[in-house]
Chain A
Amino acid sequence: MKRPILDARHLAPLGAYAPNIFDVIAFVLVIAVLAAIGHSASEIKAPLTELDIAPVHLDPWLLPGYALRTTLRMFAAMGASLIFTFVVATLAAKSRKAELIIIPALDILQSVPVLGFLTFTVVFFLRLFPGSQLGAECAAIFAIFTAQAWNMAFSFYQSLRTLPTDLSEVSRLFRLSPWLRFWRVEAPFATPGLVWNAMMSMSGSWFFVVASEAISVGDTKIALPGIGAWLGLAIEQQDIAAVAMAVAAIAVVILLYDQLVFRPIVAWADKFRFEQTAAQHRPRSWLYDLLRKTRLLKRLTMPIVALAEMLNRISVLRWPLAPIKAPPGWARLTNIAWLVLTIGLTAYGAWLIFSYLSATLGLSDLLQSISLGAMTLLRVLVLIVLASLVWVPIGVWIGLRPAVSDRVQPFAQFLAAFPANVLFPFAVVTIVHFKLDPNIWLSPLMILGTQWYILFNVIAGASVFPTDLREVSTMYRLRSAQWWRKVILPGIFPYYVTGALTASGGSWNASIVAELASWGNTKVEAAGLGAYIAKATDAGDYPRVVLGIAVMAVFVVVFNQLLWRPLYRIAERRFRMS
């Protein structure tokens, strides 16, 4: 397969909307909800009823079972993310008022590490199902969900908004019911982007799996049987062999779901690509081909098709079609009501955040978190530069050689899907052993998992670099430095920006796990906002968690505004090949 899975077209365009007052409103609302949750969680002090969960053992025979349970949790979260996407993204695309709040909120949630809130949600779900393991399971699934849902919803919303006018006109002209329109027109159009984002989400959520399966709430320790809990236990017991086994198990799981789930889905989703010409390289999957040959797929999906048919016909029966003109007076009334409600809620939210944080924290805490944020920012910047210096030349070299890039692509994709945090123990052992400075040597962990985005975006860019331009530079005998500066770097620039942007976003999130790592009783810590949040979470210091997350969100958003958005615009305007 020549076409890279990582495709810049599916990334939400950064320059798509200009920042406005609604970003601020959404920010206040998101943080206020977190503060409210933190506030209520700290009020529940009653001891949790002891859970009857079988303890996790480091027994290799149990590992496949654990791996299966972890995978099931991830897919359950994926199901929840899909439902969330269909409901929320559709709402945002259909209602201007909902859109004004939902889209900035998604943008902020994407850049906020919700990981710190695991403890609150655990308490909530345990109360919901007292004395049962179900509560803890739900909490873990919810944590994974928060790592998956936002970019999927964003992608779906983008697709709905860019539905070609003529298709939209056809569906109105033939008076498709909203239900039919959604399943026949809108959802199919959004499928390629959604599938791609779901795969990204799946990779990203491994980070959270490890954290969500072993949770301590006050004195109660909950370990759900799964790879994450196994890994936590292995780190606690300093069992390097068990860590290695977990790493191997994760590798096997990723390979399996890639082959058995995502490849077939990608092959199937190819028909939804909105292109009027047949593609030269179609994604292939042996399983999908097999299923199609045996007609098993048809038989399996038959009941679903029948059910869908029934629902379609029910939806058609009497669904009132909206007239093309709405009475103007009504619109004005709802506009005012909505505006008043939004302003009221935002004011209340701002007050809630202030009173919650100011009760225990002072200005010095704010300044401290900001200076720590600057440290983390510095790390992210330096790492992106270093990773670019390494991977851009390598990526260009690979990308210009089709035979090599065909072989390297799947490998790079696998590396990107692999959760880098399971490798942290190895790094920690090294740092402790050689007595290295954690402020420097913990930093590379932040980019360990995300540098691959730079690599394969550069590969993708170099592999589509026009042959005639390469020939021109050969003919005029451009010198090496000139060739890099005038030819290939501008040529891959849009791809590079996409990759570096993804890598930087991932690094911020990773800082929470990377700046504070442990091995048995040994803890190594780097000064930074990530460690600040991680420590506050461990200590159950909710106000600091809220503060840390809010500050990090501001950092990420401002960083995007000041660096990535302008770069993205330049890439769009100056360096697009077409």
Chain B
Amino acid sequence: MSVLEPAIAAKPIVSVENVGHFYQKGGATDLLVLDGVNVTLRSNEIVSLLGRSGSGKSTLLRIIAGLMPASSGSVTISGQAVNGPASQVAMVFQSFALFPWLTVLQNVEIGLEAQGMAPGLRRKQALTAIDLIGLDGFESAYPKELSGGMRQRVGLARALVVQPEVLLMDEPFSALDVLTAETLRTDLLDLWCEGRMPIQAILLVTHNIEEAVLMSDRILVFASNPGRVIAELKVDLPQPRNRLDPAFRQIVDDIYARMTMRPAAATAPREGAFPGTGIGLILPHVSTNVLAGLIETVNGPPYDGRADLPALASVLQLEIDDLFPVAETLQLLRFAEVEGGDIRLAEAGRRFANGEVDERKHLFAQHLIAYVPLVAHIRRVLDERSSHRAPAARFRDELEDYMPEEFAEKTLRTVISWARYAETFAFDEGTGVFSLENPT
């Protein structure tokens, strides 16, 4: 369903102009999270921000909500500049964010209470919202007594009761099981299509491509490093939409291709998937077991070295957020190529798949030193020192010049686990020291 007609397109409710955001770090350069983002949300539309975790879409949502300031650019809601949480927006959280010590009714009332509404009126409005969202009978229950789906309904009722113009949803269904999520999506779409919700527009943040196609009138595809909009798609399929509809599949495949497209202007194409360069490359935590598993799967039948990522994801029952980092790590290590929604094993990847344990380790070690600058750096330091030992703190400090603390920690953890598998160097957890000696 597309209510939006360009000719009578309403004036924007939310407009995000040229918003940039960076995290302050200790070092010389700041980590750019968002770069020149423009988003417009008009009345009567559902817009999705689709991107992978870490692409800054949740940060953008929080900037729109007035929970954090943008480093540059401007956000206006109904013509007013956002400088703190605005009364026209309400938000639904991935974690539900319910107060465990308040009953369902009290949780729903909290926004009205903050407005200073009289208890009687407050209660009446909260009960109306509870009825609307299908929670009657649960008013006096505490959140911990409810299932995940019911909890998210409470979150929804709490957001709707304050009569916002815009509903912001931050991965609202991703903490739920598949069936519950589907029911909630359908119920929400029904309420929306029947116009029974007091809201004028919904901005949905998701990493689930099908969810975005299922629900939105428009999809803004986010790319990472830095977070920016790389594509805008209109979805004109009528509601309710059918996942098996060829037109639906076509859109999903199209988005997959766009999300795996290599950034044209990137200086280091291989590393382009991960933020940072050189030893400052921020690495995702991907286990070597998973890497080996993906290589073997793609190498074996029916793929024989080449697989379509969406199809692979559905066979492996993985979300793109889980699959992409694995595929891109393989790309970084030159075991595979990822392009246009496909993954293709390189020669080294094939050799890895057919090798024995020792051969695999050897190959992995070679590629690790050749293509992960941080591993090469640590190894070089260990080789140069006569004691062949170096404290992890030293490398952590070095990394923190390039990236925020938690990323440095994660990257170091990743490198340790890869290097342990490859036996490139050892690490003693107790003392926090890298060394070349492996227990024999």
Q: Which A positions have Cβ atoms within 8 angstroms of B?
A: 164, 166-167, 169-170, 172-177, 180, 184-185, 188-189, 191, 271-278, 309, 312-313, 316-317, 321-325, 570, 573-574
User: Closest CB-CB distance, B344 to chain A, in whole Å?
Assistant: 40
Q: Cβ of A313: which chain B residues have Cβ within 8 Å of it? A: 116, 118
Q: Is the CB of A273 within 8 A of B100?
A: yes
Select one of B93, B111, B119, B429 contacting A174, CB under 8 A.
B111
Across-interface contacts of A277 in B (CB, < 8 A): 144
Bound-state Cα–Cα, A275 to B89, Å: 28
Closest chain B residue, CB of each to CB of A312: B113
A265-B113 Cα distance, complex, nearest whole Å: 26
Chain B residue with the shortest CB-CB distance to A180: B114
Bound complex: CA of A169 vs CA of B84, how far in Å? 11
Q: Would you call B101 and A272 a contact (CB within 8 A)? A: yes
Bound complex: CA of A570 vs CA of B432, how far in Å?
12
Measured CB to CB, the residues of B under 8 A from A are 62, 65-69, 83-85, 87, 89-91, 93, 95, 97, 99-102, 110-111, 113-116, 118-119, 142-145, 162, 429-430
- How far apart are the CA atoms of A274 and B62 in the complex, in Å? 24
Q: A31 → chain B, closest Cβ, in Å?
A: 34
Residues of A within 8 A of B93 (CB): 166, 169-170
11 contacts between A and B (CB under 8 A): A164-B95, A170-B93, A172-B85, A175-B87, A184-B102, A272-B100, A272-B101, A275-B100, A316-B113, A316-B116, A323-B83
Chain B residues near A166 (CB-CB < 8 A): 93, 95, 97
Bound complex: CA A172 to CA B62 (Å): 11
Of all chain B residues, the one with the shortest Cβ separation from A278 is B144
Closest CB-CB distance, B251 to chain A, in whole Å? 32
Instruction: Out of A173, A191, A272, A325, name the residue touching B83 (CB < 8 Å).
Output: A325
A323 touches B100 (CB 8 A): no
| Residues A324 and B69 in contact, CB atoms below 8 Å apart | yes
Of A188, A278, A570, which is within 8 A of B99 by CB?
A188
**A276 contacts which chain B residues (CB < 8 A)?**
100, 143-144
List residues of chain B with CB within 8 A of the CB of A272.
100-101
Q: Which residue of A lies closest to B144 (CB)?
A: A278
Asked if B145 and A278 make an inter-chain contact with CB atoms under 8 angstroms apart, the answer reads yes
| Chain B residues within 8 Å of A275, by CB | 100, 144
Number of A-B contacts (CB under 8 A): 95
Residues of B within 8 A of A312 (CB): 113, 116
Determine if A324 and B66 form an interchain contact, defined as CB atoms under 8 angstroms apart.
yes
- The 3 closest A-B CB pairs, nearest first, are A316-B116, A166-B97, A174-B111
**Interchain nearest-CB distance for B83 vs A (Å):** 5
Q: Are A175 and B100 in contact (CB under 8 A)?
A: no
Which of these, A175, A274, A309, A323, contacts B114 with CB under 8 Å?
A: A175
- Once bound together, how far apart are the Cα atoms of A535 and B69, in whole Å? 60
- Which one of A169, A191, A278, A317 contacts B67 once the chains associate, using CB atoms below 8 Å? A169
Q: Which residues of chain B are near A169, meaning CB under 8 Å? A: 62, 65, 67, 91, 93, 97
Q: Which residues of B contact A321 (CB under 8 A)?
A: 84-85
A271-B101 in contact (CB<8A): yes
User: Is B67's CB under 8 angstroms from A174's CB?
Assistant: no
A316–B97 Cα gap in the complex (Å)? 22
State the Cβ distance, A402 to closest chain B Cβ, in Å: 25
Contacts of A570 in B (CB 8 A): 430
In the complex formed, the residue of A with least CB distance to B100 is: A274
Name B429's contact: one of A175, A323, A574 (CB within 8 Å).
A574
Whole-angstrom distance between the alpha carbons of A324 and B142 in the complex?
32
Most buried by A among B62, B66, B85, B114: B114
New A-B pairs, 17, CB < 8 Å, besides A174-B90, A324-B69: A167-B99, A169-B67, A169-B93, A172-B85, A173-B66, A173-B85, A173-B91, A175-B114, A180-B114, A272-B101, A273-B100, A276-B144, A277-B144, A317-B116, A324-B68, A573-B430, A574-B429
Chain A nearest CB from B32 CB (Å) reads 19
Chain B, Cβ-Cβ closest to A274: B100
Q: How far is the CB of B99 from chain A (nearest CB, A)?
A: 7
Instruction: Give the docked Cα–Cα distance between A184 and B118 (Å).
Output: 17
Q: Cβ of B118: which chain A residues have Cβ within 8 Å of it?
A: 313
Find A167's partner among B87, B90, B97, B429 (CB 8 Å cutoff).
B97
- Provide the residues of chain A in CB contact with B111, threshold 8 Å: 174
Interface centre among B91, B95, B101 (most CB of A within 10 A): B101
A273 CA / B101 CA spacing, docked (Å): 8
Q: How near does chain B come to A169, taking the closest CB pair, in angstroms?
A: 6
Assembled-state Cα–Cα distance A276/B145 (Å) = 8
- Could you tell me the distance between the alpha carbons of A313 and B121 in the complex, rounded to whole angstroms? 14
**CB pair A574 B110 closer than 8 Å:** no
Contact between chains at A271 and B142 (CB < 8 Å):
yes
- Set of chain A residues within 8 Å of B62, measured between Cβ atoms: 169
* A176 close to B110 (CB less than 8 A): yes
Please state if B97 and A188 are interface contacts (CB–CB under 8 Å).
Answer: no
Q: Which residues of B contact A176 (CB under 8 A)?
A: 110, 113-114
Q: A184 to B67: give the CA distance in the assembly, Å.
A: 19
Q: Per a CB cutoff under 8 Å, which of B90, B101, B116 touches A188?
A: B101
Most buried by A among B95, B99, B115, B145: B99
Give the distance in Å from the alpha carbon of A481 to the alpha carbon of B85 in the complex: 62
Question: Which of A164, A175, A271 neighbours the largest number of chain B CB atoms within 10 Å of its CB?
Answer: A175
Among B97, B99, B162, contact of A184 (Cβ-Cβ < 8 Å): B99
Min CB distance A431 to B, Å, is 45
Q: Considering the chains assembled together, what is the distance between the CA atoms of A367 and B162 in angstroms? A: 68
B119 touches A309 (CB 8 A): yes
**Complex: A313 Cα to B83 Cα, angstroms:** 24
Chain A minimum-CB-distance residue to B91: A173
Least CB distance from B125 to A in Å reads: 14
Distance, CA A189 to CA B89, complexed state (A): 26
B residues near A573, Cβ cutoff 8 Å: 429-430
Give A29 Cβ to nearest chain B Cβ, in Å.
30
Can you name the residue of chain B whose Cβ is closest to the Cβ of A277? Answer: B144
The CA of A323 and the CA of B93, in the complex, are separated in Å by 22
Instruction: For B110, list chain A residues within 8 Å (CB).
Output: 170, 174, 176, 184
A550 to B65, CA, bound (A): 51
Which residues from chain A contact B100 at a C-beta distance below 8 Å?
271-276
| B158 vs chain A, min Cβ distance (A) | 8
Bound together, the chains give a CA A273 to CA B429 distance in angstroms of 33
**Would you give the shortest CB distance from B249 to chain A, in whole angstroms?**
35
Query: In whole angstroms, how far apart are the Cα atoms of A384 and B433 in the complex?
Result: 32
In the complex, the answer to whether A173 meets B65 with C-beta atoms within 8 Å is yes
Give the shortest distance, in Å, between A565 (CB) and chain B (any CB): 16
Contacts of B97 in A (CB 8 A): 164, 166-167, 169-170
Which A residues lie within 8 Å of B113 (CB)? 176, 180, 184, 312, 316
CB <8 Å contact, A185 and B83: no
With both beta carbons as reference points, the residue of chain A lying nearest to B116 in the complex is identified as A316
Chain A residue at minimum C-beta to C-beta distance from B106: A184
Residues on the B chain within 8 Å of A309, using CB: 119
**Which B residue's beta carbon lies closest to that of A276?**
B144
Nearest chain A residue, comparing its CB with the CB of B103: A271
Minimum C-beta distance from A388 to chain B (A)? 22
Closest to A177 in B: B114
Most-contacted residue by chain B among A271, A277, A321 (CB, 10 A): A271
> Shortest beta-carbon distance, A200 to chain B, in Å?
22
Q: Which B residue's beta carbon lies closest to that of A316?
A: B116
- B95, A175: Cβ atoms closer than 8 Å: no
- Nearest to A574 among chain B residues (CB) is B430
What is the distance, in angstroms, from B418's C-beta to the closest C-beta of chain A?
21
Inside 8 A of A177's CB, which chain B residues have their CB?
A: 114
Q: In the assembled complex, how far is the CB of residue B171 from the closest CB belonging to chain A, in whole angstroms?
A: 12
Residue in A closest to B430 when the chains form the complex, CB atoms: A574
Q: Give Cα A324 to B67, complex, Å.
A: 7
Task: Please name all residues of chain B whose beta carbon is closer than 8 Å to the beta carbon of A274 when the two chains form the complex.
Answer: 100
Residues in A whose Cβ lies below 8 Å from that of B145: 278
Which residues of chain A are near B115, meaning CB under 8 Å? 175, 316
A172 with B67: CB separation less than 8 A:
yes
A167 surroundings in chain B (CB, below 8 A): 97, 99
Q: Which residues of A contact B142 (CB under 8 A)?
A: 271
**CB-based nearest A residue for B168:** A173
Which residue, of B68, B83, B113, B145, has the highest number of chain A Cβ atoms within 10 A? B113
| Cα distance, A113 to B287, chains bound together (Å) | 52
